[in-house]
Amino acid sequence: MPTQSTLEQLNLRIPKKLARELAALAEVEHIAKIDMARQLLWEGITRRKQEVALKLYDQGQVSKSRAAEIAGLSLWEFTDLVAQRGTRWDYTLEDAKQELQRVLSEE
């Protein structure tokens, strides 16, 4: 459970229809509406990071290692994501070196 010092308050206004959808989903899943909102926000951020990483990689703007980092995934997880999406996948020696350097720097 996050402590008070690790939390930040975010106030936002949402359309009433969206609030009703959120409440209905929370009720179906038997959780509080605020917990459902947090869960959906995390899921949305995760999905958006992956979509951005795939787009940048597919456009040749970033390497596979950098795309994996943007997506918040290991290179191997990103490999699976690319395969699922049918995006190009050219793994070079330079990509392997970058991934190895990234892994070693995390230790």
Residue-range definition of the domain harbouring residue 80: 13-106
In a domain, 73, yes or no: yes
The predicted structure's pLDDT at residue 101: 80
Q: Residue 1: inside a domain, yes or no?
A: no
Q: How far is CA 53 from CA 2, 9, 93, 100, in A?
A: 28, 28, 20, 19
What is the pTM assigned to this prediction? Answer: 0.71
- Does residue 2 lie within any of the structural domains? no
At 79 the pLDDT is 87
Q: What is the pLDDT of residue 17?
A: 96
pLDDT of residue 67: 93
Q: What local confidence, expressed as pLDDT, does residue 89 receive?
A: 56
pLDDT at 42: 96
Number of domains in the chain: 1
DSSP-derived secondary structure for 53-68 = HHHHHHTTSS-HHHHH
Residue 3, domain member (yes or no): no
- Please check whether residue 92 lies inside any domain of the structure: yes
The pLDDT averaged over each successive group of 10 residues in the chain (107 residues) is: 80 94 96 95 96 91 92 92 75 72 75
Token pair for residue 107? 């230790």
| DSSP 8-state class, residue 72 | T
Does residue 40 form part of some domain? yes
Q: What is the pLDDT of residue 16?
A: 96
